[in-house]
Structure 1
Amino acid sequence: MPTTLAQVPKQKLKNPPLKVYKLGDRVLRQPAKRVNKINDEIRQLAVEMLQTMYSNDGIGLAAPQVGVNKQVIVIDIELKDETKPPLVLINPEIKSMGGEIVVGEEGCLSIPEVFLDVQRPDEVTVVYRDEEGRPQKLVTNGLLARVIQHEMDHLNGVMFVDRVQNATALTKELTKHGFSVKDVESVKE
């Protein structure tokens, strides 16, 4: 019997099931493909993504970050609360963004130890399929809205450092942690 998402413990594993690719790996720049069929293989991918995310102290992970070119995202901003299930978004689409443009610090499992400010809208409406294939709609704000936008960027081959406006801070942080500024592909809004 496969593990269900609700059964995935929110704990670190010594050997997480999936490798997280780092800034500079081309796999992170490929646009992800839509999932045609939501089946046990996709559900198992979501389980392994959650296990990998928890093992790396993350709150969000997109399939391209683990080398899988599919539109699958897992999110859990309630890491300490075992009763709150994680979110699994399959083929997500942002329908609208709103609220204020807010600056917030972001990090990424694909760029460990680098944290920089990014501007994003505070509210988002997203439609997606859950792990059972059911259509869902989520209207949210704050941290969850930011995480959804961050992970959706991954599905389009965009990384948060591409949105950082402070070039000096960006260069300093990336260099300090052994990453190359040449791997940043700036997004102009």
Structure 2
Amino acid sequence: MGKAADIPDARRGGRGGDGRGTVRPIRRLGDPVLRTECDPVRTFDAALRRLVDDMFATMYQADGAGLAANQIGVAQQIFVYDCLDDRDRRHVGHVINPVLVVADGETLVESEGCLSLPGLRFDTPRFSHAVVEGVDVKGRPVRVEGTGYFARCLQHECGHLRGEVYIDTLSGEARREALRAIRSAPA
């Protein structure tokens, strides 16, 4: 997910935000890995923990609110997040093999960005409530529920793991405008 201007820099604490990871290059739209459906994680080991730490380090370096594994070239079903909900509660974590089990509530059209399309933001429709289920780095079940901006983040990251980018949710003139902006953006 794109820039997290609403979240203070103090957010860098917590699991994964502890400075252990290595920043990796973020793949940009046009890289085939962003359009490839990711594979489920089957091995829960030290390499997976390092990958999650690297994802947090990369997300924080880019000032993002979420990051999917394929955005750093790893086609596995993993995403990390650090963002606020509609009550200004901070949510920090990761989900492996996530399934978006609920996306409902009011449809909100708000400005959204993506670290793989730097500098571009488009009004994007998302549901105001989302629930994702999956597992953590130890294979333990997790259920994450979000509202507001956090719900938007959960939907955005799950989309990445299906090989989608947020502009895929746009239609009509909004989509045409986004595609024109992408074509004219500096490489």
Letter in 1 for 2:102: S
Contact preservation (8 Å) 1:6, 1:85: no
Residues 57-115 of structure 1: per-residue CA shift (max 9 Å, x gap): 1110000110001001000115xxxxx67211000101122111111111111000000
Q: Identify if the C-alpha distance between structure 1 residues 28 and 115 changes in structure 2 by more than 3 Å, giving closer, same or farther.
A: same
Structure 1 unmatched runs, 5+:
79-83, 180-189
Kindly state the Cα deviation for residue 130 of structure 1 after the two structures are TM-superposed: 1.5
CA distance in structure 2 between the aligned counterparts of 1:7 and 1:149, rounded to whole angstroms: 21
Letter in 1 for 2:51: L
Q: Give the corresponding residue for 1:106.
A: 112
Which stretches of structure 1, 4 residues or more, deviate above 6 A after TM superposition? Answer: none
Secondary structure of residue in 1 paired with 2:38: coil
CA distance in structure 2 between the aligned counterparts of 1:53 and 1:23, rounded to whole angstroms: 17
TM score, norm. by length of structure 2: 0.81
Secondary structure of residue in 1 paired with 2:70: helix
Q: Give the corresponding residue for 1:171.
A: 179
Residues 1:116 and 2:127 are matched in the alignment: no
Q: Give the corresponding residue for 1:96.
A: 102
Q: Identify if the C-alpha distance between structure 1 residues 64 and 136 changes in structure 2 by more than 3 Å, giving closer, same or farther.
A: same
Residues 1:77 and 2:86 are matched in the alignment: no
TM score, norm. by length of structure 1: 0.81
Structure 2 unmatched runs, 5+:
1-13, 85-89
Residues 1:8 and 2:14 are matched in the alignment: no
Residues 132-167 of structure 1: per-residue CA shift (max 9 Å, x gap): 221011222111111011010110100011222313
Contact preservation (8 Å) 1:28, 1:157: yes
Residues 1:61 and 2:67 are matched in the alignment: yes
Q: Identify if the C-alpha distance between structure 1 residues 96 and 50 changes in structure 2 by more than 3 Å, giving closer, same or farther.
A: same
Q: Give the corresponding residue for 1:185.
A: none
Kindly state the Cα deviation for residue 131 of structure 1 after the two structures are TM-superposed: 2.2
